[in-house]
Amino acid sequence: MNLRTHIDGTWEPRPADRWEDTFLGGNGRHGAMVYGDPADDRVIVNHHTLVRPNGSEHLRPPELADRLDRLQSALLAGDTTAAEGFGDGRPLVWVQPFHPAFQTRIRPVRDPSAGSGGPEAPPPAYRRTVDFSTGEITAVCEGRRSQVFVSRADDVIVQYVTGTGPAVDLTLDHALPGAPPLLAVGRSAVLTPDGGRLTLRAGYPDSDLAYTGVTVVRADGGRVSVSGEGFRIAGARSLLLLTRVRRHTGSLDLAAECAGLPPDDYGTLLARHRRLHTPAFRRASLTLDADPAERALPGSELIRRSDSPALLERLFAAGRYHLYSASGVLPPRLTGLWTGDWDTAWSGAFTTNANLNLQIASAAAAALPEVSQAHASLVYGQLPDWRDNARALFGARGIVAPSHTDGESGHTRHYQRAYPLHLWTAGADWLLEPLVEHAETNGETDPRLVAALHEAALFYEDFLTRTAPDGTVAVVPSYSPENRPANASWGTVNATMDLAAARHALTTSAAHSPTAASSARRRALADRLAAYRVNEDGALAEWAWPGLAETYDHRHLSHLYPVWPLDAINPYDTPELATAAHRALELRGSENDSAHGHLHHALIAARLRDGARVSAALGAVLAGDFFHDSLMSAHYPSRNVYNADAAHALPAAVIESLVQSTPHRLVLLPAPPAGWRSGELRGVRTRFGASLDLRWSADGTATAVLRPSRDARIDLRTGDGHTFTHDSAGSPPAPLELTAGVDRVLELGPR
């Protein structure tokens, strides 16, 4: 095997015995979870749209706008618990929970005369692999081979099995953990000239909604017969399974579904898929100074070596693979695109006040515009609901985003006393920021983005009507997810994240305003917002309101939004505030050790040029047993609660420690952890329109190759311990003048 084969994939010497350890495939719509067990070859089928109706889909945001003025007056007057009663009395209702569809099962028909000796261990020749560069998952056991991928070209789960033995049974099994007992399940098995078609229809309890899965099997030779609720296939040289699932109302046109399944053989199907998947995956890569023997280890062994560069290489590749695979019709959920259980934690929702943005943080820089486009589908598809939120809750024009969504509704309806998520007004700006980064990276501005930025600013024009005693405009009510002051309730005044979001929304939209008057009005309103506050500990305060005390031990770092991703506070333009932000990071605890808290910490530390903190935060995740054998992650240590935050956010933390960019600045090696002695990061996209390859060595030297696609003038910086020694253009390296189509090579050396 070559070097990239070891990095761009993972393998196991045994089948998965837990769904959490199954290897994953996806095309942004369908997801597949592959056990690879020759004795019971199961593939769990997922689809982004599969959410179970639970009544929340009919709820609209609470009508509270007529009470807003009284709440604002009470909070400004010092009533620190006034927001606790700001609701309509409804009980907490979670969004519709994400769930699996069913699993396909291929089981050898046992010879009754052989008896039963209990389960057998797989033979030593067994090997289960996933190739990140193709999305193909393979399980080989002696003469049997099973290959699975989820086609981006044909939107179908494809499985090809050879060496099946004398006979196998094929069924569709809906009885996954947590499946509702009242799920109305109907099945059919229809023979066709080259095999057969299995159908499973599941109707949700107390709903006219259902989902239907279809698996078409094509047998090469042998005989296919109906057996119970499935097929018995005897003597076939190979089996090709094509599976799709749809959520729908009423009945589904099965003829149309099956007519749309491609007639091609496995090789043709895979080649068509690879033309889309492989170039996307190969756009960016990370190579470190890793031990070849460690690179060759199975993932289950490698994740036990938390200090291994080979582990970081593989997790970087796996993170990009899983992020890309989970993004299409929607961006990744809390579980990505996968679950094997109907009782998914936190409904398997999109939690927008931290998790979603952290998962997609590498999309622009790691050359995965498809992820940004999936995020755009979620955001732009929900704008009508966001307008409803702004009107119902705050009596305002514009948009307010929810903290939780199931992907269907964007209405705010999930809140309670301890989590008054309906008071969070920063959500629209926070969720639009990744789309701003995408536009800057690609050099193309989506008119939908301009319109959404305008609506975010419209909200603040209507909402920011109250003033503090010092004459500044107050954000009230205000909420810092999901924290509270030590001496007040959750709903309060001037949370730093809210101030940052309001300022950013107003100034960003001002740059795109159709008239000079509207631009000036928005900039003037932004200028009237309170300044960020530095508290008595020298730290950037989470609430810029006198008298509110900090709660430092918390998993969220919302108040450092101006540092990451906004870059409004940075060591170059605002050094004093950057020092205060760094102090806030030093004082921040990890609370319950949530993976997203550690990765968020790493991203902010990288912006503040603190490689030691980046290393510590990544180390807490790598050494905390957060990763399953699948290299998908957990929310808590000891692989507790299946969750994609760590897996998807890790590539962003790696990139930010090595390369940072804004439309006008490039920072090389700002915060590399000391253990990364040498390596190469290729294919990074910058926000000024250039791709970048970076190589660095243990002696402190480094080389960066920039390939600009448009002209740019860039402020060029390095982290501590480095200086520029050579520029291929012969001009001073800072500021850097880039010309579209003309490569630049920068050499760095130690001070």
Q: What is the pLDDT of residues 44-61, one digit of tens each?
A: 999 999 999 999 999 999
Cβ within 8 Å of residue 320, ≥6 positions away: 132, 281, 284, 362, 366, 368, 651
Q: Do 146 and 262 belong together in one domain?
A: yes
- pLDDT tens readout for residues 224-272: 999 999 999 999 999 999 999 999 998 877 767 776 789 999 999 999 9
Backbone φ and ψ for 296, nearest 5 degrees, come out as: -85, -5
- Rounded distance, CA 603 to CA 564, Å? 7
Residue span of the structural domain in which 465 resides? 56-93+349-537
pLDDT higher than 80, residue 115: no
What's the number of domains the chain is made of? 3
- Reference 593, options 565, 627, 617; nearest CA is 617
Angle (CA) 429 430 431, round 5°: 90
Q: Do 213 and 76 belong together in one domain?
A: no
Q: Do 22 and 83 belong together in one domain?
A: no
CATH number at residue 39: 2.70.98.50
Last residue of one domain, picked from the residues 494, 518, 537: 537
Q: Do 403 and 273 belong together in one domain?
A: no
Q: Do 132 and 210 belong together in one domain?
A: yes
CATH number at residue 68: 1.50.10.10
Kindly state whether residue 454 falls inside one of the protein's structural domains.
yes
3-state secondary structure of 522: helix
- pLDDT tens readout for residues 500-531: 999 999 999 998 888 899 999 999 999 999 99
pTM over the 0.95 mark: yes
Burial class (CB in 10 A: 0-12, 13-18, 19+), 365: buried
- pLDDT tens readout for residues 462-506: 999 999 999 999 999 999 999 999 999 999 999 999 999 999 999
Q: Do 232 and 267 belong together in one domain?
A: yes
Rg from Cα positions in the chain: 27
Burial class (CB in 10 A: 0-12, 13-18, 19+), 462: middle
Q: Do 234 and 172 belong together in one domain?
A: yes
Kindly state whether residue 199 falls inside one of the protein's structural domains.
yes
- Rounded distance, CA 165 to CA 174, Å? 26
Residue 467 carries which side chain, given as an amino acid letter?
Answer: T
The CA-atom distances, in angstroms, between 247 and each of 33, 240, 252 are 19, 24, 9
- Rounded distance, CA 704 to CA 660, Å? 13
Kindly state whether residue 549 falls inside one of the protein's structural domains.
no
Burial class (CB in 10 A: 0-12, 13-18, 19+), 413: buried
Q: Which residue do the tokens 């579904």 mark?
A: 257
Kindly state whether residue 470 falls inside one of the protein's structural domains.
yes
pLDDT higher than 80, residue 111: no
- Rounded distance, CA 132 to CA 212, Å? 29
pLDDT higher than 60, residue 322: yes
Tokens of 394: 């705050």
| pLDDT value at residue 122 | 53
Tokens of 582: 């760094």
Query: What is the 8-class DSSP label of residue 345?
Result: G
| pLDDT value at residue 113 | 59
pLDDT higher than 90, residue 591: yes
Q: Do 150 and 205 belong together in one domain?
A: yes
Q: Are 158 and 269 in contact (CB under 8 A)?
A: yes
Last residue of one domain, picked from the residues 250, 265, 282: 282
> Cα–chain-centroid distance for residue 548?
33
Q: Do 233 and 365 belong together in one domain?
A: no
> Cα–chain-centroid distance for residue 662?
22
Q: Do 29 and 75 belong together in one domain?
A: no
Q: Which residue do the tokens 């970081």 mark?
A: 312
Cβ within 8 Å of residue 658, ≥6 positions away: 668, 669, 670, 672, 681, 694, 696
Q: Do 197 and 166 belong together in one domain?
A: yes
Kindly state whether residue 301 falls inside one of the protein's structural domains.
no
Backbone φ and ψ for 561, nearest 5 degrees, come out as: -55, -40
Kindly state whether residue 542 falls inside one of the protein's structural domains.
no
Kindly state whether residue 334 falls inside one of the protein's structural domains.
no
Q: Do 137 and 255 belong together in one domain?
A: yes
- Mean pLDDT score of the chain: 95
Last residue of one domain, picked from the residues 254, 282, 310: 282
For the chain, how are helix, strand and coil distributed in percent, rounded to 5? 30, 25, 45
Kindly state whether residue 582 falls inside one of the protein's structural domains.
no
- Rounded distance, CA 171 to CA 188, Å? 10
- Reference 747, options 733, 731, 737; nearest CA is 733
